[in-house]
Structure 1
């Protein structure tokens, strides 16, 4: 009996230790929800913007490309006055719409608040009026570098091309969240919507003539009366 009691005590202690470890290492539901919200906006917009940006040869300093379409330098958005925070990533691409070329800009910037930072997405067309939205929940302040951006690269004929980005975001809980996005634009300028093709269809009318009996007694009548 004594042996059974001792064994049960050891088993109970082991179970309690395992349970305590799980509770301590599992983040609370609220923290997991905050992590999900931290990626919600940027996981929607970043892949779309990167997909539209054409791949381009990388600049020598690796801060962007030689054509100015990809940049991680802390420069202006190009969407007029009113920039806030620091640049994380600036993207630019052009589209051919109705025979004219339109330039689009999408810039991701980290902006500090009193206790937390956020990532803003600023967009404009042809350098006109800006539209700015928040794409993350609260993050650690920028001085702790909670966001890192790395290029996705491909080498062709000895030339390194920027073909996408990898965004890594560190949350208040210490978790690292990552969003990968790749270019899907093979040309320097996206083509517009093709003109509609007009198809002409000619209808053929077939006329069928049915003979009517003129003389019931005529032997050539197609419909003679029965005898």
Structure 2
């Protein structure tokens, strides 16, 4: 499995919900990330000095690769579809690269991925920065003993769960998802991690829908996003 990740990352230029009610109009390649003992070094991955123009170019490539599908899953919704980003190795690589550049020197020990799209971006980031990946799943998906956190939906409630013992007190964690809309899921993820004594350094998403005010629910936890779909 790790060999598969390494092979995939060799080809990359490695270095917020999907639902939007309105249309929406972070220097060579990462070459030998000299990671600490617990970090993985991927051949062909280089460290580069990122310029503002380089960052802008990469973010534009990511944004242009994300498909917007009107009226899905119901009328009036503009769905932010990141599956087309995954079809573009350059855009996918840019996405992982920007997160790796941001977090590799922040002593992050946990990358917590929110089901399900956080499972796409979280593992390669965790491998590159030498952190463990912890899945935050919907109820009855994890086989071991879990703790859970409930959050509100438009109609009713839902839960996310985490294995007991996966995160230790004083672990430094980031929470990864593809998109933040109303912020309920990310807020629940932060509470879940803080209940076991972890320090949540930041939440990170590819896309933010700022008109839905999701970041206000995070209670002061910083939020890093690549694209604003205003």
Which TM bucket (shorter chain)?
under 0.3
In the superposition, the TM-score normalised over structure 2's length comes to 0.23
Larger Rg: 1
In the superposition, the TM-score normalised over structure 1's length comes to 0.23
Q: Select the structure that is richer in helix.
A: 2
Q: Select the structure that is richer in strand.
A: 1
